[in-house]
Homo-oligomer: A and B are copies of this chain.
Amino acid sequence: MNQPKFYIGIDLGGTAIKLAIIDDRGNIVDKSEEPTGRNGKDAVLDQITAMIDKLLKMNNMDMAQVTSVGIGVPGFIDWESGYVYELVNLKWKDVRLKEELQQRIALPVFVENDANAAALGELWVGAGQNARSLVMVTLGTGVGGGVVINGDVIHGANGMGGEIGHLSLLPEDGPLCNCGKKGCLETLASATAVARMGREAAESGESGLLHALLKSGQQITARDVVEAAAQGDEKSREIMDRVTYHLGWGLSLIANTINPDRMVIGGGLSRAGEILFNPLRESFRQFSLKRVYEACEIIPAQLGNDAGVIGAAWVARNRTMGE
């Protein structure tokens, strides 16, 4: 009988490192999380190594039981060589991540973009299971994307496949984006964008409910806007209409191009439920060709914060088989 196979999945973020031991069927054996250290790249790599050791020990396992390691990172990479061009939030530039981590842990390491890893996690054991082609959209600080066709993510010419947060929707008069353009999808439909619109509505007094929150000393978050909309606050509903209008528009652009059978929406904002999904589906229909929207369902992600580590383990598992 074959030995059972295990993989380590790592989700390296600007604020936290998430780690999990994952079996050959995508189940989490155990997981851990620590705040990302602030002492530079080498310290972070040491931290990851120590976290792996500790998690294995706690489960009475050792490195010999692990086939390979996958790591998802927030930035631009060359997935084939495991080279990191830049991780803005971690202030990393030009890191041979695959080699550096392999030197420390003596196991094959595979590197993936974090949004792609989340898409692969949902594909493997989440809301994307059995999809022929899948678009994963993460509504968080920005709008992240991962496009899966024929069982793997589309990396594209230089790893920029799925950078859907920067689809131009309102290039002339939309909000200014970090990328320098105006009216990118993520200035209109990210959690950050919802919070910004909520704050403006609170400051202007257009939303009494949000205005009261602000006066009580609270920061306005995307969740506040969603909750105010659910409670019938008119201005918050308008904000959600505006968000779903633009998100449905953006998704239609992707769908008319690659005709996926499923779109999975993740990130904090996706927990808004039907107050997000109903108008989103309607907007998507409005902007898409009939045969395109009829073939495509839009559903919430299932794995929450675990999508990244599970997807990283998928990468470890499937790219190991490919080598």
Contact = CB atoms under 8 A, between A and B. Distances in A.
A256 interface: yes
A277 interface: no
A282 to B, nearest CB: 14
A171 interface: yes
Interface in A249-283: 249, 252-254, 256-261
Given A149-B149, A150-B150, A160 B253 contact: no
Contact of A167 (B156, B257, B286): B257
A249 to B, nearest CB: 6
Interface stretch (A66-74, A218-226, A229-237, A288-296): A288-296
Interface in A133-162: 133, 145, 147, 149-150, 154-162
A147 B256 CA distance: 11
Interface string A153-188: 011111111111011100100000001010000000
Given A147-B258, A157-B261, A258-B147, A163 B289 contact: yes
B168 A249 contact: yes
A132 interface: yes
Contact of A160 (B76, B154, B171, B256): B256
B258 A258 contact: yes
A157 B260 contact: yes
A236 to B, nearest CB: 23
A296 B259 contact: no
Contacts of A254: 257
A181 B249 CA distance: 12
Given A157-B296, A181-B287, A289-B179, A162 B257 contact: yes
Contacts of A162: 257, 259
12 contacts: A132-B157, A133-B157, A156-B258, A157-B260, A159-B259, A160-B291, A166-B256, A167-B257, A168-B253, A171-B287, A181-B286, A253-B257
Q: Can you list the 4 inter-chain pairs with the closest CB atoms, starting with the nearest?
A: A156-B259, A157-B261, A157-B295, A160-B259
